[in-house]
Structure 1
Amino acid sequence: MTRSVPWQERLSTGTEAVQDDVIRWYQRTKEGKAYVPDMIWGTLQTEAYATVILKQVVDFLGVPDDVPAGVAKRMERQRVLHEGDHHYDVILGEQALYTNIGGPEVMRGQIDRLLRDIDLPSLTLGIIPATARLAIFPAPAFGIYGEGDTVNVELVSSELDITEEGEVALHHRMFDLLREGAAYGEAAKDLLRKAQSIWAGGPR
């Protein structure tokens, strides 16, 4: 089954309530997966980065502006990386390190955050280099949560929750194929350090 909820309905009271829902969702997830090709996964965002993102969402959709409350909840949801028995397997595209959200200062802080968190026991962070040869075409961003039986996809106008077994299985397969092209460990850190240097005004 696929359930679609328009963002303007989902965010009709602002961003805070949705973040509360996500917190409960993440707390129920012991083994999560997320693929985000062109921005930073929400649970690894800094406060400054998340503030820019949620402000853009509010302005674009014309929903109530409660950005500080929404950001506070987004920061609260990051506790899953430090508390309880959770593990998240996350793949970012290298483009995520360069999509300019908030300017160089915000991006430097965000890359620093990734370098700090990459060794967390609760996190497996891979980065697909821009020139990586992939076993499968790049897909839109998606996350796999719950007991590995729910896929969440965020579209421009709505949010999709996919629970049909065959469709969920395809997303697991897609994730595994994308994972083959990702850099991990020191190779991922090298990509982060390169981005850090560029945002600090270093050589391009």
Structure 2
Amino acid sequence: MLKELRKRSGLSGDRVAKRMNASQSKVSRIENGKVRPSLVDVEQYLNAVNAPGNLVAEVTALARLANTDWQDGRGLRRKGLDKKQLELAGLEQSSSEFRFFLPSMITGLLSTHEYIRASLAHIPGDHSKTIAKKLERQEVLYDRSKRFTFILTEQAVRNPLVDNHVMAIQLDRLASLTHLPNVRLGVIPLTVRMPGNPLSTFTIYDERIATAELSAGVMVFRDSRDVQAYVDEFAGYETCALFGENARTQLTVWSADFRS
């Protein structure tokens, strides 16, 4: 559609590139489907070719769809949940900064073997490969070239997914991970008023991709404005969280509650 709009305008690819303040090769890659244009790219292109108003909304809607993926839970289970772990490992390998917001459960990167197994118990089938992959992925936490920030609500930390003594060990693991120099792990007690209303678990990779987990599947956002919305939301929660020694103290109290 973009290429057709340019031809109708009578402009060359080079002329459109100059109007977009971009390279001609980028315009060519966009027109030939060699690169996924962002919404900003599409808007600049539409302005450059003076696209008619009735087509701007249609093309913009297509661009948003192209930058958003839906991975339904049923499809993921059919392919095998261990395959999803390979995809996540790839994202972790290609990214250097990670932000995790966890309002209801502890993520696999921070979980003990028992907690991971319990988190999959409601899904029929043998999950031994998935559990092994989740545990294998935890090695990335010790890569000093990568930076992690985890924010967990009290509900996520104290959700009794396993027996009390096992939950206490899980919380001890969270406390121990706060000592890693490249890991910031924060907790938000129930008594703290958070900005807005947290609706889902989400993860941000290098401010280029954001994923939001829903009960029915996972949404993947690549458009910069969608990702920035999650970055801003995360920053709000970050101001409410306890980090460092304060986080360890709170986790120790909650762990003691489970042991008692």
Same fold, TM-score > 0.5, yes or no: yes
What are the within-5 Å matches in structure 2 for residues 121-200 of structure 1?
121-145=181-205, 147-200=206-259
Name the TM-score, length of structure 1 as normaliser.
Answer: 0.90
Q: Render the CA deviation track for 1:74-113: whole Å, top value 9, x for unaligned.
A: 0000111113511111100011221011221321121111
Gapped regions of structure 2 (runs ≥ 5): 1-66
Matched, 1:46 2:112: yes
Q: Which whole-Å CA distance do the structure 2 matches of 1:14 and 1:52 have between them?
A: 17
Q: Displaced runs of 4+ in structure 1, greater than 3 A? A: none
Matching residue of 2:146: 86
Q: Which whole-Å CA distance do the structure 2 matches of 1:167 and 1:151 have between them?
A: 8
Across the aligned residues of Structure 1 and Structure 2, the Cα RMSD in angstroms comes to 1.3
Q: Render the CA deviation track for 1:10-69: whole Å, top value 9, x for unaligned.
A: 22132211111111111111001000012112210111100111222x23xxxxx23111
Matching residue of 1:35: 101
How far residue 142 of structure 1 moved from its aligned partner, in angstroms, is 0.4
Q: Which whole-Å CA distance do the structure 2 matches of 1:157 and 1:134 have between them?
A: 26
How far residue 134 of structure 1 moved from its aligned partner, in angstroms, is 2.5
Matched, 1:113 2:189: no
Matching residue of 2:41: none
Matching residue of 2:77: 11
Tell whether the 8 Å contact from 1:44 to 1:114 is kept in structure 2 after alignment: yes
Q: Which whole-Å CA distance do the structure 1 matches of 2:79 and 2:201 have between them?
A: 25
Higher relative contact order (CA 8 A, sep 6+): 1
Gapped regions of structure 1 (runs ≥ 5): 60-64
- Tell me the secondary structure at the aligned position of residue 181 of structure 2: coil
Tell whether the 8 Å contact from 1:143 to 1:153 is kept in structure 2 after alignment: yes
Q: Which whole-Å CA distance do the structure 1 matches of 2:252 and 2:240 have between them?
A: 19
Matching residue of 1:99: 159
**Which protein shows a greater Rg?**
2
- Evaluate the alpha carbon distance shift between residue 66 and residue 17 of structure 1 in structure 2; reply closer, same or farther with a 3 A threshold: farther
Count residues with an aligned counterpart.
194
Name the TM-score, length of structure 2 as normaliser.
Answer: 0.71
How far residue 155 of structure 1 moved from its aligned partner, in angstroms, is 0.8
Q: Which whole-Å CA distance do the structure 1 matches of 2:166 and 2:114 have between them?
A: 6
What is the aligned counterpart of 1:20 among 82, 86, 111? 86
How far residue 151 of structure 1 moved from its aligned partner, in angstroms, is 0.6
